Amino acid sequence: MSGTNTIALQRGSSYDDCLLGSCLKKMFKGYVKSGAGTGYIISSEVAEVRKELEQLNGGSPLELSFAYLSAMESTMPHAGFRYVIVHENNRPLVFGYFQVFTLTSKNFRLKTDKKFVKGIINLFLDLKKAKVLMAGNALRNETPCYCYDRSVINDELATEMIASAAEKIAADEHMTAVLLKDIPFTDHANIWLLKQDYHAPMTDQQMVLTIDPAWHTLADYVSALTRKYKARANKVLALREGLRIEQLDEAGVAHYAHQLNRLYKNVADSQSFALTTVSERHFAKMKEVYGPGFEVLGFFAEKKLVGFYTAIVTDNVYEIYYAGFDYGLNDQYQIYFNILFTGVERAVQLQKQQLKLGRTAFDSKASLGARPVEMNYLIKTANIPAAAVTWFVNYFSSMEDAKWKLRDPLKQPAATPAQDKAGSPS
């Protein structure tokens, strides 16, 4: 996160549970209440709207498939799901999904030197548990959260529909905040959302390395580094010789499920804030859904699994998903940096245009040559003092900003990457 563009939020607004009905009335002259031939359905299980989803999506993008969403439901134990279908004359026109999270002091894992701040956060959240509704994928960036019949609906109207559905759910379930991400923020949609009291409290970022087409091997990438960073890379990669790297198939992922989860939790538990976590079965489920488009690379010291990373492979992008490693052996093998270098190697081998590295550990990723790409989202709060929201935003933004700086490790720095939406798995 970047705190350079934070704003003071207005006092929490109230959610408009009639906004969805108004939106439907504007669109459909024959609109009647939910459950009739024209209207909307809200469900908490994707199985209940599978037929409508498959009519609208047809399996692509995969992140809006029944297989993917049911896998997410079953492996995100701390998240709730809400699914919305808008239909006319029993014909589905819009599908959208939301995730629900309840924040408590357990979501914050501040270091011991932040005892005063931790005390404030714990007191606030223990007194008032905050329920957050997210339109978008909490585990990934730039993956769509809705689809629609383009012969009837355009981007602007679809965005209004999704935001209106969020208002309805938030009002009915007394949400503290609604977060909109991974939807088209067109000028028209932004103006409409601002009128509904949505704001952009901060600029969020993910780190992306543009892959030079001239790189055909990892050695080519290392040769493109400046002397200082080349020396560092060679030192780290020399330690990789003591590791065996194995790409795990479905059987391998299932076999090492417990060890993968343990290493994943090592990293997840070290984060100052975690919105949610995944269960032990998550990586196996993702492998089932994506097949060869989901890679799991295990790093072994002798016969012991000491690190791993998962990656989603699309037409133009190699995206590091989740990683984990043994902190006790990290100095000996530089496991984390070797995970990053192996990610670069795979992106180069597969001739991808970009390596996406996520939105944590900015400094380490900047040292590879990755550049920040802004991600837009909007938030609306209710039933919470605006000063509290602004304080949280500014505090956590400043924490991230203090940890990293932009670097130029490449002799010929790549251009700042353009945002590239998730493509079809390769």
Least confident range from 18-32, 53-67, 177-191, 217-231: namely 18-32
* 205-375: CATH topology: Aminopeptidase (3.40.630)
List pLDDT tens digits, range 211-230.
999 999 999 999 999 999 99
Tokens of 151: 């012969």
User: Mean pLDDT over all residues of the chain?
Assistant: 85
pTM of the model: 0.87
Quick one: which of 220, 208, 176, 260 has its CA closest to 348? 220
Tokens of 357: 């590295």
C-alpha–C-alpha distance, residues 404 and 361, integer Å: 8
Q: How far is CA 58 from CA 55, 65, 148, 182, 314, in A?
A: 6, 7, 11, 20, 18
Give Cα 39 distance to the centre of its chain: 30
What is the location of CATH 3.40.630.30 in the chain?
205-375
SS3 letters across 6-57: CCCCCCCCCCCCCHHHHHHHHHCCCCCCCCCCCEEEEECCHHHHHHHHHHHH
> Is the pLDDT reported for residue 74 higher than 60?
yes
Domain 19-195 maps to which CATH number in 3.40.630, 3.30.56, 3.40.50, 1.20.1050?
3.40.630
> Is the pLDDT reported for residue 273 higher than 80?
no
